[in-house]
Structure 1
Amino acid sequence: MTPPLVTAVVPTRNRRELTLRFLARMAAQTYPALRIVVVDANSSDGTVAAIRQQHPPVTVVAAGDREFWAGATNRGVRRALAAGTDYVLTINDDAVVAADYVERMVALAQQHDCAILGSRIDLLAEPGRIWALGTSTDWGTERFLRLAHHDDLASQLEPAVAQAEVLEAEAMPGNGVLIRQDVFRRVGLYDARWLPHYHADSEWVMRAVRRGLTAKVTPAIALLNDFGEAQKRLPLGSLRGLLFTFFHPKSHLYLPAVAAILWRYCPPDQRWPTLRALAGRFLRMKG
């Protein structure tokens, strides 16, 4: 029986060494029907030339340098769907995965009929310490999109979670998510207009769930993420920093993205408490 075709979609910009490390891991995957589409957002560090030299089977798609995560990922998804893929795997170039990662994700998705299956994401610097096991909503608080089991040790998860093959999730980060191709036809692509970078992944899953699909995440298959909290540290000490915080697409407090999430998904009676909590968080960050 022919295995389903999986296309990994990987956005990148000026991260040559991370991208090459990632592609080396993907080249070693045990899954036989895997294609890779790297969407390069106008890199100036030789990323594209290095990919073509070291990984010629990889498809490189060009994106503008202001398309950010959602726009670049959409380009890759369109290319994958046009080529007849069965699954799209959205994954970032700073991910580190085991050789059987794709094989296990496909097997689990088919076993449980998962239209959307997310990975457990651990910290690369401390494997076994969870960065996210899906995302949950917590309206009325400053962290209305809360990473589930953030900073927990996998070895200390409660048995009902640790022993589950899959768990339902309200949303999830887009790093290591296996998506059946028909879901995009039902749900559409990522919202690159209002959520160009942060929260586009969560919003897409929330949209799918609202349309009757079930999103699941697995505690059993971990992806290691080269992530540090400094990546979300915001430059609040100047007017320029304040403008970046609220009006630059690469800020996780980008106002259009936050407003889109609240307007579409937050219960009306929780919108004001959520905004008030966010204002309090901002004042503490300034203090």
Structure 2
Amino acid sequence: MNTVCVTTERSAVGMAREVLSLFKLRIGFLIMITAVVGYVATPGHASVFQVLVMALATLVASAAAGAFNHYHEYRSDRLMARTRTRPFASGSLPHHPAWLLLFAGMLLAAVAAAWQVVNPQSAIFVFLGAFFYAVIYTVWLKHRSWTNIIIGGLAGSFAVLAGAAAADPQLGPLPWLFALVLFLWTPPHFWSLAIANSEDYAAAGIPMLPVVFGPQRAASIVFASTVALVVASLLPAAFGAGPVYLVGAAAGGAWFILKSWHLKQVQNRKTAIASFLASLVQLNAVLVAACVDAML
């Protein structure tokens, strides 16, 4: 009897982990943080409750879009070593249309909460972030064009705008500049990872940048994109962001440029992953510096 109970408990825990893994919560928390930074960096006011609802709405909407990506891409995921163990791809969770009701319900609840508690502008940006990732990127562009991640990158930009709109629906130049930074960050971040996993994408027939143009040209584009990103990340200093932000953006940007330059010189998994990780350092430097600067 005890053995049966323990086995059942382990199965339930394992199932819960599989379901949670659908929602790409690491990415979701990062997107939520960008929304909070958008709020902190924008002059204005909202109650603590409104900020909390906005942050959770952004997280839930992102989770719904991420889970839909798992659901829609389960066949392609089976063809790639990096993704073949995902729940729908591996069969550990049934690929049933009922999941779509859950994901749609999550998105509807997130948008409705933001609309009622925060304001309509913030709610619209919450919706657009999920829509661009789930529909524009996943359904429309991912298997059609190497530009997929460029346009799909707008998902992160909308999170910044959702946070900024919670503080002030009349958006000034600073939140738009931070949205631009997120938009320019996504391509070199993702393309670095794509170079590291180009064989996977080729096997799945997904036209990511290194598959279409080859790793050498892709690495050159990553480097040029990184330089453009870093230049854009310094622009907020001319529109209200202070010296702490400028130092953080410059330091994080210099590190990303260095690693993307190494990738441009030598294309292998080690340099590609190093560039990918440097993109995370750069983004976190920008986000942390923006928060510290706003609180000083």
TM range (shorter): under 0.3
Q: TM-score of the superposition, structure 1-length normalised?
A: 0.28
Structure number with higher helix proportion: 2
Structure number with higher strand proportion: 1
